[in-house]
């Protein structure tokens, strides 16, 4: 039997699809079309080039000669942070010495024994937040709405939990955590392209920076604590320390990027395991499997689906040429579903044999025939907070599973995972996740 040849209409991608509600809800049919017919796609409407196959994305991540994350030159006239909602952060830096120095100062605080010292804080805050939504559910029961427990996992847990963890790690007052949640939401929205979103995000950044100032000065003067602010303000690399502006930019980035990705990761994990009750039963039987659930979620539908780069010279691929300083989008969500690498990629399976489920690999190499997910990136810009995000998410899910016997979706028509509204910032995840439990 001859192989079916796709028609020109079936191969066609109209670039406005990337702005549509259809794509926000389910980008995966478009991803497959990109991989199959347009492995290097030139989106002339948005001025982008897209890579969607696993091996191409992996190779581009590792190619720091041809691809650079920076928009501005490190030694140019641009004042770093002036256009960024977070202020001056490592995200604006390219592949040069300043990036290496900044990463070296802060990266060690999120791996190894430095992370282990914060695990009791993560467990305590997770337990307290569960207790909070349990009390709210009990109030609903008292009002006669339901006879069993229920919770909106997003509103009552995932939005609050990572921000409270970060606040605890920074050593900030517990009574200010609600304000932190508000700033966090505004900063995330400010990542978008809408002018009003950006304005509110910058205002939140300025309020947060003013709040942080006295804590930074106090910790510089009396560096006796074991909190993250003290560690960052006193950390040295090559005899240099971070400036106040750099410390505040780091906290802004940690609060927003670290908060939103973990928030969405927990929601995404629960959405998928609830669609697969046999796997949920195994997770209840063996809570250590939540680590595999996290890894499979990061492959199957992670919070972050794209990363951007600019070319540093002309690059020839697939009979096309990406121009110098061209905008290139690494489609992580598409690459993680590449049939050339993963068997049955559109199936969520925490037991799959072709996915590397150990400690994240920074280079994406294969181990015993297993490929790593690309959800944290790879190479020199590999996510610094990957270990913290995994630890927070796994601990939270283990405690949630214990606290919610016989958990199930409250509504059959639950929306599920969706990308943010066009123009605002943030990452993919459920906006509501209403659950019932015994």
DSSP line for 87-112: -S-GGG--SSHHHHHHHHHHHGGGSH
Model pLDDT for residues 64-109, shown as the tens digit of each residue = 889 988 777 767 787 776 777 777 666 666 555 555 555 555 555 5
* pLDDT band with cut points at 50, 70 and 90 for residue 146: very low
- Average pLDDT score over residue span 3-30: 90
* pLDDT band with cut points at 50, 70 and 90 for residue 140: very low
CA-wise closest residue to 72 among 62, 64, 81:
81
* pLDDT band with cut points at 50, 70 and 90 for residue 25: very high
**pLDDT value for 91:** 60
Share of the chain above pLDDT 70, in %: 82
- Average pLDDT score over residue span 5-15: 88
User: Is there a contact between 152 and 434 (Cβ–Cβ < 8 Å)?
Assistant: yes
Report which of residues 352 and 239 the model is more confident about: 352
**pLDDT value for 121:** 66
Report which of residues 96 and 43 the model is more confident about: 43
67-90 exposure pattern, b = at least 16 Cβ within 10 A, e = fewer: bbbbeeeeeeeeebbeebbbbbbb
- Average pLDDT score over residue span 149-155: 84
Model pLDDT for residues 273-296, shown as the tens digit of each residue = 999 999 999 999 999 999 999 999
Ranges of each domain in the chain: 20-437
User: Is there a contact between 283 and 401 (Cβ–Cβ < 8 Å)?
Assistant: yes
- Average pLDDT score over residue span 360-373: 80
pLDDT at residue 148 is higher than 70: no
pLDDT at residue 136 is higher than 80: no
Cα 376 to chain centroid, rounded: 8
- Average pLDDT score over residue span 349-360: 90
CA-wise closest residue to 124 among 154, 152, 161:
161
Helix (H) or strand (E) holding 42: strand 40-43
Model pLDDT for residues 210-266, shown as the tens digit of each residue = 999 999 999 999 988 888 888 888 877 667 788 888 888 888 877 766 788 889 999
**pLDDT value for 396:** 87
321: three-class secondary structure by DSSP: strand
129-133: list long-range contacts, CB under 8 Å, 24+ apart.
Answer: 129/156, 129/157, 129/160, 129/161, 129/164, 130/157, 130/399, 130/400, 130/403, 132/156, 132/160, 133/157
Model pLDDT for residues 420-434, shown as the tens digit of each residue = 887 676 789 999 999
pLDDT at residue 39 is higher than 80: yes
**pLDDT value for 381:** 67
User: Count H helices, E strands: the chain?
Assistant: 18, 12
**pLDDT value for 198:** 84
Residue spans of beta strands (DSSP E) within 105-176: 149-152
d(CA 394, CA 376): 16
Give the mean pLDDT of the chain. Answer: 83
Q: What's domain 20-437's superfamily in CATH?
A: Cytochrome P450 (1.10.630.10)
């Amino acid at each position: 039997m001859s192989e079916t040849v796709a028609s020109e209409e079936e191969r066609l991608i109209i670039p406005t699809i990337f702005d549509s509600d259809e794509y926000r809800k389910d980008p995966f049919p478009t991803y497959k079309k990109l991989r199959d017919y347009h492995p290097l796609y030139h989106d002339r409407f948005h001025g982008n080039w897209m890579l969607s196959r696993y091996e191409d994305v992996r190779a581009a991540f590792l190619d720091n000669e041809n691809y650079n994350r920076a928009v501005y030159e490190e030694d140019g006239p641009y004042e770093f942070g002036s256009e960024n909602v977070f202020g001056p952060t490592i995200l604006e830096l390219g592949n040069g010495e300043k990036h290496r120095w900044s990463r070296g100062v802060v990266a060690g605080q999120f791996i190894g024994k430095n992370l282990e010292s914060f695990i009791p804080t993560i467990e305590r805050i997770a337990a307290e937040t569960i207790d909070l939504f349990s009390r709210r559910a009990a109030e609903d029961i008292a009002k006669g709405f339901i006879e069993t427990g229920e919770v909106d996992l997003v509103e009552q847990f995932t939005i609050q939990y990572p921000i409270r963890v970060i606040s605890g790690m920074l050593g900030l007052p517990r009574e200010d955590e609600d304000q932190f949640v508000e700033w966090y939401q505004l900063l995330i929205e400010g990542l978008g392209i809408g002018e009003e979103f950006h304005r509110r995000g910058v205002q939140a950044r300025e309020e947060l920076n003013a709040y942080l100032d006295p804590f930074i000065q106090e910790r510089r003067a009396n560096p006796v604590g074991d909190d993250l602010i003290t560690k960052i303000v006193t950390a040295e690399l090559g005899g240099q320390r971070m400036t106040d502006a750099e410390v505040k930019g780091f906290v802004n980035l940690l609060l927003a990027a670290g908060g939103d990705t973990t928030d969405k990761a927990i929601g995404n994990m629960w959405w998928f395991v609830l669609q697969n009750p046999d796997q949920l039963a195994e997770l209840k039987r063996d809570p250590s499997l939540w680590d595999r659930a996290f890894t499979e979620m990061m492959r199957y539908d992670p919070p972050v689906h794209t990363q951007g780069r600019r070319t540093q010279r002309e690059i020839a691929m697939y009979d096309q040429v990406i121009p110098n300083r061209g905008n290139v989008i690494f489609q992580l969500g598409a690459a993680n579903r590449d049939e050339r690498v993963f068997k049955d990629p559109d199936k969520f399976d925490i037991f799959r044999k072709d996915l590397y489920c150990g400690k994240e690999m920074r280079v994406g190499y294969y181990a015993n025939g297993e490929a790593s997910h690309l959800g944290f990136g790879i190479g020199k810009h590999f996510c610094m907070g990957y270990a913290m995000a995994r630890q927070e998410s796994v601990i939270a899910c283990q405690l949630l599973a214990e606290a919610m016997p016989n958990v199930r979706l409250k509504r059959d028509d639950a929306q599920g995972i969706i990308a943010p509204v066009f123009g605002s910032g943030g990452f993919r995840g459920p906006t509501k996740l209403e659950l019932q439990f015994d």
